[in-house]
Amino acid sequence: MSARDIRSAVRPDPDQPLVDIADYVADYKIDSTEAYDTARYMLLDSLGTAMLAMKFPECVKHLGPLVPGAILPGGARVPGTSHELDPAQAAFAIGTQIRWLDFNDTWLAAEWGHPSDNLGAILAVADYLSRKAEREGGRRFSVRDVLTYAIKAHEIQGCYALLNSFNRVGQDHVILVRLASTAVATAMLGGDREQIIAAVSHSWIDNGPLRTYRHAPNTGPRKSWAAGDACRRAVTHAINAVYRGVVGCPSALSAKTWGFYDVAFKGKTFEFERPFGSYVMENVLFKISFPAEFHAQTAVECAMQLHAEVVGKLDQIERIVIETQEAGCRIIDKTGPLDHYADRDHCIQYMVAVPLIFGRLVASDYNDEVAADPRIDALRDKMTVVENPQFTRDYFDPGKRYIGNSVQVYFKDGTSTQKISIDYPLGHRKRRAEGIPVLLKKFEAAMQDHLPAHKVKAIVAATQDPSRLDAMPVQQFLALFTL
């Protein structure tokens, strides 16, 4: 492109990725029964995870208005609380609840992420608009509508993640939460195709947060509210496009020098493996058994199987070998001191040591009280983490999407345990029949831990009949989760 072209003020046609998202969100009809069934479980699992997070004061302190007193009676509710907030701040709160414990669903490819993070924006906007419609008229949303938008948000985030690695340019995966949530929230607010394009263009112009807060030496609790922050920003972009008519930037991606590709993506354009449909929701990974970074889920399962064999011989262990995928080596192989919860739940050595010692891994095992046990760091010092190339190949295979790990313990007397290898965890699509009953138990236990008995009874009754749940107005459904 010539210097004259760069200076030209002629507005180009929108970049094709912006158009493709707008066309999909505005026009595509979801007709996959499997996608809706999976989305229903995803909704319950996410709300259960949000209720579990209410045990943690560091999470709870983020859930109210941005400044004291900035409430909105009749606004969007925050599950498990009595807060009523503007939809942007409610999106932040709900997204933070769902993500806090690293226990909601996961998508793993060239980029990683947690597509149910988008529920922060979807539930906040749906509740706000439905409660407003009760007072003033207008569109009300059913749970089925929420599931539809969730399927589409999962698809946008997941399809971008298949071949485009934002982590390799130092950006955090919540950039895709903001993208997907911006698109669906704009449509939910009544935005047309052009307004979706405008809102999405501004999402890209925001660039992305640096993922340094997920890695040593800067690992910290921001990773627990980063998705909520992306949801909040997404709702802001949607409101700006629909209610304020904010003009978009059609070449936000491709503009020479100043566009996202040149500024943030090393001049590369996005690549796509497949058109948008319902693939991501159908193949999403549930975190059912352990609140652990997903690349380590099967490693934890391996350690659980070895617990009985090694717990009486911890002082006789010479070394422990963990084989994982390339991504696991890159993001959760962590040595040295672990100063807080956020360090520990992204350390594969810690996540293997705890079940070897205790035969469990629960959210509270990342707290200081458990981490102070000297046996944990003693085992960590004996661990070696290496890449298994087959695990990496199976990880990227679109027909498998495995997340394999193996663990083997060697003793000072020259003996060893069997090498335990697991290709895919309980939450994988290939283990749905085995996993869903456990997911529902996780959900009900989370409700019982935080909500009054009569609310839990009403929630269970509403969720046992899929057709009844789908038809339920979303404001009535969310009312069951409020205090």
Q: Is the pLDDT of residue 69 over 90?
A: yes
Q: Is the pLDDT of residue 73 over 50?
A: yes
DSSP state of 290: -
Higher-confidence position of 216 and 415 = 415
Contact 349, 384 (CB under 8 A): no
**Can the peptide bond before residue 374 be classed as cis, meaning omega within 30 degrees of 0?**
no
Whose CA is closest to 477, among 131, 49, 87, 121? 131
- Which residue bears the tokens 């810690």? 350
Q: Are strands 383-387 and 420-422 parallel, antiparallel or unpaired?
A: unpaired
Q: Give strand ranges (E) for 239-392.
A: 317-324, 383-387
Task: Report the half-sphere exposure of 320 (CA within 13 A, side-chain side).
Answer: 29
- Whole-prediction pTM value? 0.89
Contact 227, 179 (CB under 8 A): no
Longest dimension (CA), the chain: 76
3-class secondary structure, 293: coil
Please tell me the predicted confidence (pLDDT) of residue 289. Answer: 84
DSSP state of 409: E
Task: Report d(CA 111, CA 168) in Å as an integer.
Answer: 9
Mean pLDDT of the chain: 95
Contact 191, 239 (CB under 8 A): no
Q: Is the pLDDT of residue 5 over 80?
A: no
Buried b (16+ CB within 10 A) or exposed e, 236-269: bbbbbbbeeeeebbbbbbbbeeebbbeebbeeee
- Which residue bears the tokens 């009535």? 476
- Helix (H) or strand (E) holding 22, with range, is helix 16-27
Neighbours of 369 (CB within 10 A): 8
- Tell me, what amino acid is at 219? T
Q: Is the pLDDT of residue 7 over 70?
A: no
Angle between helices 87-99 and 174-188 (to 10 degrees): 140
Across 409-432, average pLDDT: 95
Please tell me the predicted confidence (pLDDT) of residue 3. Answer: 40
Across 179-189, average pLDDT: 98
The token pair that represents 30 in the structure block: 């979801």
DSSP 174-237: HHHHHHHHHHHHHHHTT--HHHHHHHHHHHHHT---BGGGGSTTS--THHHHHHHHHHHHHHHH
Least confident segment among 5-14, 132-141, 152-161, 170-179: 5-14
Torsion of CA 123, 129, 135, 138, to 10 degrees: -140
Torsion of CA 442, 444, 445, 449, to 10 degrees: 140
Tell me the chain's radius of gyration from C-alpha atoms.
Answer: 23
27 confidence band (pLDDT: 50, 70, 90): very high
Q: Is the pLDDT of residue 401 over 90?
A: no
Q: Is the pLDDT of residue 229 over 60?
A: yes
Q: Is the pLDDT of residue 261 over 80?
A: yes
> Rounded to the nearest 5°, which phi and psi values hold at 173?
-65, -15
Please tell me the predicted confidence (pLDDT) of residue 1. Answer: 38
